[in-house]
Amino acid sequence: MATTTATITLSSTDLLSDEIALTTTATLTGAGNSTGLTGTSGLGRKTTSSASQYILFDADDYPSGPAKAHKIYLKNTSTSAGEYFTITHNEEEIGRLYAGDWAFFPWNNHDGAADIKITPSVSSSITLEYMLLTD
């Protein structure tokens, strides 16, 4: 059984009147059990050269249903502040990743049609780092 741990730390000394220092850790497990996640797409990179929408994770390629605990990691590797990727799940925009931004979120491919898509903001070369973790 694989053990995968996710940790996030949020800190700021000047966002509020008091300092923020939050850290949380989770051991990633399968849906409804304590078995560690056992599959991954591996860490990959997608370099685009047009502002067209791309399917990053095709729902048809991954088992659907609520009994799966897919997790997705994304990072925009650009250093140009105005360059971003729009992230779409099941045809709904869930947000933009600007230069240096990253996201980690669960993916419920509940109906087999919930593709994860990306749309770059520029038609010049821009790279997204990605990984899918699954049980």
The residue ranges of every structural domain in the chain are 30-134
The closest of 7, 10, 37 to 21, measured between CA atoms, is 10
Question: Tokens at residue 38, please?
Answer: 């056992």
Q: How confident is the model at residue 52 (pLDDT cuts 50, 70, 90)?
A: very high
Q: Is the pTM of this model over 0.85?
A: yes
**Residue 111 reports pLDDT greater than 70:** no
Average pLDDT, the chain: 90
Q: Which residues contact 23 (CB under 8 A, 6 or more apart)?
A: 7, 8, 9, 10
126 versus 35: the higher-pLDDT residue is 126
Q: How far apart are CA 113 and CA 100, in angstroms?
A: 29
Radius of gyration of the chain measured on its C-alpha atoms: 16
41 versus 123: the higher-pLDDT residue is 123
* The CATH number of the domain covering residues in 30-134: 2.60.120.10
For the chain, give the percent of residues with pLDDT over 70: 92
pLDDT tens digits for 56-107? 998 888 766 666 788 999 999 999 999 999 999 988 999 999 999 999 998 8
Q: With 0-12 CB in 10 A as exposed, 13-18 as middle and 19+ as buried, what is 133?
A: buried
